[in-house]
Each structure stands twice: as structure tokens, then as C-alpha cells.
Structure 1
Amino acid sequence: MIPTAMHSGASDTDTMTQARAALRDVVPRLVALVRSAPDTNSASVGTWTVGDVAAHLSHVFRFDTDAVAGRPVPEATVTTAGMAEVNAKMLAEDGEREPGVLADRINALASEFDDVASRSQAATVSWLQGARLPPSAVACHLLEECLIHGHDIAGATGRPWPIQRHHALLAVEGGALPLIAALPPTAFLDQEKAGSFRARFELLLRGGGRTLMVFDRGSLTLDAECARDVDAHVSADPAALMLLFIGRQRIWKPLLEGKLATWGRQPWKLARMLTVISPP
């Protein structure tokens, strides 16, 4: 299984320190972005309005803070369908969509999270679906949510949202990969499409480490050991990979920009893999 700290050999404490610093960089920009939205009900992000995205972000801050604090978190099955159900329920119960109010709420919740995270001494905490995670992985998950949904809001409102490589690397290596390792191997896949898919990818994150991703008929597992018998090697800019895997951009964009490269005996399997992955 993949280590719970960054591939660079950083301890969980080091990763938490980096994640808290990244959140202190990103959150003020995110709060300003939400506050500047002219009308959170007019611009859309898929089926959600900008107001829905901002409210959802506040809910993520709340349950990630509760997780690190050792408090109960919502009952959820961490799959695309399971999280869609939980998110819809939370949004239905929360009628607030005014940008200034949501910006203030996110800012206050971010301060609370940083305070709770600074005092956490637990080796692991209980996250959604009972997954046991180091507190740093929860912090990096929160960072990933801020980066992705900041990208969503900026795109819907015509504003820039640059993502620093180090922030994206923390989000992927410190958050997404430990989540994949901690959750059931079926959680991140579309089971109908993944039924017969088998592949082994060596993922090399630029500025970070390498991970072996093993897809085997509906399951996804990770291995930090040296990749053997791989179908393809994938070198990726962390921000580009994050947006690609979460479905925010198509494969041709990072390929043309040189932010993604793949080679090996079956590099075409990368495109197939992107149809199989279904992040919660």
C-alpha cells in the first residue's frame, strides 16, 4: 500500500505542516473568489450553481474539521453515487447561497480547521465510510477540494485560478493517493466500465514520487514499490493530473501542453483508464 506521508519521505507531521501552509495560501484567494461572484445563482458548474459549489465547500470544511477533531462525520458510501446522495442532502438542508455570507462562513471554518489541525496528535482519525486516515491526509483532501472547486467557480465566473505545483502535489500525494489506499478498491471506479479492464501504470508525478496503479477487473490498488511489468509509464504535472482525473479537462490539453506524457508497451490504456476512473 502507498505510504501515508508524501513520497519525498516527509513525516505525517511535515505533510500536515505543508498542507496547513498551503491552505493558508489558497483559502484567502478562494474566499475572495466566492465573495466576488456577481450572482451565485446565475453561473453554473455542471448541475450546480456557484452558490451550490460554495455551500458544498463549507460542508467539506465542516466534516473534515470534525474528522480531525475526532467528532462524528456524515454517514456516506464513498463512491460517485454515494457522495452525490450525501452532497444533495446537505445542500437541500442548507438554504444559504449569498456570496458574502458563504465567503465569511468558509473563512471562519478554515480558521477553525487550522486551529484543530495544529493541535491534532492522533496517528489516524476516522473519515467517511470509516476510513482510517492520518490527519495530514484529511488536510490534503481539504486542499484538493479547495483547488478543484476554486477552479470550478473561477471557470464559471470568468476569473483566473492558477494552481501551484506544490499545492497540487500535496493534494494528490498527500490526499488522493492515501484515500485510494484506505478505501475499498472499488470506490474510485465505474464498476460497469471497469469490469474487464486490467492494467498496470507507473505514475510519476513531476516534483514528487512514483506510484504503481494496478487496475484489475473492477478494483484499483496502489503500490509504492518499484514498478514491474507495467503497461505504461505516465509522467504528469500534478495540477494537470488532478484536473484530468477529476474530469475537469480532457486528455488532449495536458498532452499538447507537455504536462502529460505516456510511453511503454501499451500507452493507449491511459485513455481507457480515464473512462474507468470515477472519483467520488
Structure 2
Amino acid sequence: MLVDMHVAPGKWVEARVALRHAANRFAELLSAVPDPEVPATRSWSVAQTAAHMASLAWACTTIAGTGPDATRDDVLDKQFGATNVDNVRDFNDLLLRQYVEERDLAALTDQLLRDVTTVLETTDGRDPTEAVDWLGGSRLPLAGLLAHLTNELHIHGWDIARGIRAPWTIPPADAGMFFELFLLGVIHFGYGGLLDSTPRASRRRITVQFRSRYTTPATIVLDGSLDGPGNRDRVTVEAPRPDNDVRLSFHPPSLNLMLFGRLSAARVALTGKVVVWGPRPWLLPAFLRTLHMPNN
């Protein structure tokens, strides 16, 4: 049985508070950076990572529909529509090259906080399940847009904190919204061409049930027996069933860090942060090869 997208009023409030909290913590972290040229990732310094986050917050103002002053031009719009999970780096690089030239951390912090405020003000009072355009011709609910930006702040805050050897924690309930509001939301509303670069995982139906203390249980179905968009696997969300192939219990911060390549699957398994069982757990790698995330 397919699951309808529903966001309770309380969850919408929590998503908004989580975004504000994540932005404020990210700003505090930037204020403690001794050298903006310290590496944060394999490709970016702290300054570049901060600029990336400022550019994403600005992009979210355009997606949330904040008026003519925040519209994308034709070049960015074309890249926006052509992006999938494996070439999202091109979209990020375009934002950094042409739309956020600033590298001063104080100025980037001001810009980030200003645009997060704009996103929150623009979405205030709107239906959290209102669909908006997303990368690769996909669609997602407004609540998913906020959850995605929150997760980006969590992930890149983790990167910067490691680079400067500072503490960084990710609240589990806030991290759980990435799965519940963004990932399930974009599957429900239409993932467009996001998976177009991913080869078919198998010619069978794979069902993976996700459970945590912080999210509503849900099963993601990867169906290789049917032709999805572009002759790819078809992905849907269903209610959990006892006969699901894989059952996965997860700690949301650890799952998100694993999905985005910050923690290895072995590490999260050994620490018990992600536990896998069920009648056919060996199907999980094929599932994750298709439903994967960018690692930059």
C-alpha cells in the first residue's frame, strides 16, 4: 500500500525550529575558525564550505518563491534541471563560481543567516506539503526543502568541526527529518531525473523497512521488475510489512553521515548505530547503490 505524504502541524514547527537552530550553531562554529583556509573536505577549505552553505541558502530562497529579486537566471536554471545525484558537484561549483563570490567568513555568516531568515519568513503559514521544484526535475514538499537545508548545515558543520578539531553534535530528532521529510518527500512527489545516472540495481523488487526512535516507520521499495522513469528502477514508499526484505534500524545522525560518505558502513554497523536484519539483508547493497546521496 502506497503511503500518502502528511506533515503534522507539530512536525512543521519542529522543522522550522531545527533549521533556525542549525543555522545559528553553524554561525557560531564559523566564528571559532582560526584560519578560513583550513581544509574542511577533500575539495574545499572552510571558507569554500561556508560559501557553499551560503549559496545553498540563497538557492532555497529562489525555490521557496521569495519574489523577483531571488530568481535564478537561465544558466543556473538549466543546470538546476539537469542535475542528478552524481553530477550535483557541477551545480554546487556553478553556484560558487557565479553567485557567491564572497569568502570572508563574517560576511558569509551574515548572508547565510539572512537567507535562512528569508526562507523561514517566506514559508511561514504555508502548507508544509506544498510541492516545490527541486533538482533534476524532481519535486518535494516545503517541509522537505527545510529538512534538506538543515541536513546540509549538519553535514558541513561536521566537516568544518573536524577540520578545526572542534566539537560538533547533530540532534537525532532534527537529523531524522532528512529521512522523513526530504527523502520520503521527494520520492512521494516525484524524483524526476535524480537517479538517471544510476544503472538498474536488479530485475527484482527490493523492500527496505526503515525504523528509528525519531521517525515514523516506512518502507522504501526499489522495483527493478517495472520500468521506472528513463527505464530506471521505480522507487516508491509503502507502509511496513512483516515480509519486507530488509529491516534497518538507524540512529539518524549516523545514517545521514554514512549516506553522505562521512562515516563508513562498517563503522556505523560496529557501533550499533545502524542495525540490519530481515529475511534478505544481502539485498541492501544493491538498494543503496541506486538510492545513494552525493558525497561532497
User: TM-score range with shorter-chain normalisation?
Assistant: 0.7 to 0.9
Checking the alignment, whether the CA contact within 8 Å between 1:124 and 1:134 is kept in structure 2 is yes
The one-letter amino acid paired with 2:220 is: M
Q: Does 1:31 align with 2:27?
A: yes
Note closer, same or farther for the CA distance 1:243–1:108 as it changes in structure 2 (3 Å cut): same
How many positions carry a matched residue from both structures? 275
Please report how far the alpha carbon of residue 34 of structure 1 lies from its aligned counterpart in structure 2 after TM superposition.
1.8
Checking the alignment, whether the CA contact within 8 Å between 1:78 and 1:187 is kept in structure 2 is yes
Q: Does 1:206 align with 2:213?
A: yes
Please report how far the alpha carbon of residue 123 of structure 1 lies from its aligned counterpart in structure 2 after TM superposition.
5.4
For structure 2, list consecutive stretches of 5 or more residues without a partner in the other structure: 225-231
Checking the alignment, whether the CA contact within 8 Å between 1:189 and 1:278 is kept in structure 2 is no
* Structure 2 residue aligned with 1:150: 157
Give the 3-state SS of the residue equivalent to 2:35 in structure 1: coil
The one-letter amino acid paired with 2:112 is: I
Please report how far the alpha carbon of residue 207 of structure 1 lies from its aligned counterpart in structure 2 after TM superposition.
2.6
Question: How large is the RMSD of aligned CA atoms in angstroms?
Answer: 2.6
Checking the alignment, whether the CA contact within 8 Å between 2:140 and 2:190 is kept in structure 1 is no
Deviation string 1:162-215 (CA, Å, 9 cap, x unpaired) is 011110112221122212333337624762473667522111123322221222
With normalisation by structure 2, the TM-score equals: 0.82
Checking the alignment, whether the CA contact within 8 Å between 1:16 and 1:139 is kept in structure 2 is no
Query: 1: CA distance between counterparts of 2:117 and 2:150?
Result: 14
For structure 1, list consecutive stretches of 5 or more residues without a partner in the other structure: none
Q: What are the within-5 Å matches in structure 2 for residues 168-179 of structure 1?
A: 168-179=175-186
Checking the alignment, whether the CA contact within 8 Å between 1:212 and 1:224 is kept in structure 2 is yes
Note closer, same or farther for the CA distance 1:206–1:132 as it changes in structure 2 (3 Å cut): same
- 2:147 aligned residue (128, 140, 152): 140
Deviation string 1:127-165 (CA, Å, 9 cap, x unpaired) is 224444332221112111111111122122211210111
Query: 2: CA distance between counterparts of 1:262 and 1:189?
Result: 27
Note closer, same or farther for the CA distance 1:224–1:78 as it changes in structure 2 (3 Å cut): farther
Give the 3-state SS of the residue equivalent to 2:124 in structure 1: helix
Identity %: 24
- 1:269 aligned residue (283, 291, 296): 283
* Structure 1 residue aligned with 2:89: 84
The one-letter amino acid paired with 1:69 is: G
Q: What are the within-5 Å matches in structure 2 for residues 189-204 of structure 1?
A: 191-192=198-199, 194=201, 199-204=206-211
Note closer, same or farther for the CA distance 1:182–1:246 as it changes in structure 2 (3 Å cut): farther
Structure 1's consecutive aligned runs of 4 or more residues displaced over 6 angstroms after TM superposition are none
Query: 1: CA distance between counterparts of 2:5 and 2:62?
Result: 20
Checking the alignment, whether the CA contact within 8 Å between 1:44 and 1:50 is kept in structure 2 is yes
Note closer, same or farther for the CA distance 1:267–1:127 as it changes in structure 2 (3 Å cut): same
Please report how far the alpha carbon of residue 233 of structure 1 lies from its aligned counterpart in structure 2 after TM superposition.
0.8
Which stretch of the first structure deviates more once superposed, 247-256 or 174-183? 174-183
Q: What are the within-5 Å matches in structure 2 for residues 1-280 of structure 1?
A: 1-6=2-7, 10=8, 13-69=9-65, 71=67, 72=71, 74-75=76-77, 76=80, 77-93=82-98, 94-120=100-126, 124-128=130-134, 129-184=136-191, 187-188=194-195, 191-192=198-199, 194=201, 199-217=206-224, 218-227=232-241, 229-280=243-294
Note closer, same or farther for the CA distance 1:89–1:197 as it changes in structure 2 (3 Å cut): farther
Query: 1: CA distance between counterparts of 2:241 and 2:131?
Result: 30
The one-letter amino acid paired with 2:209 is: E
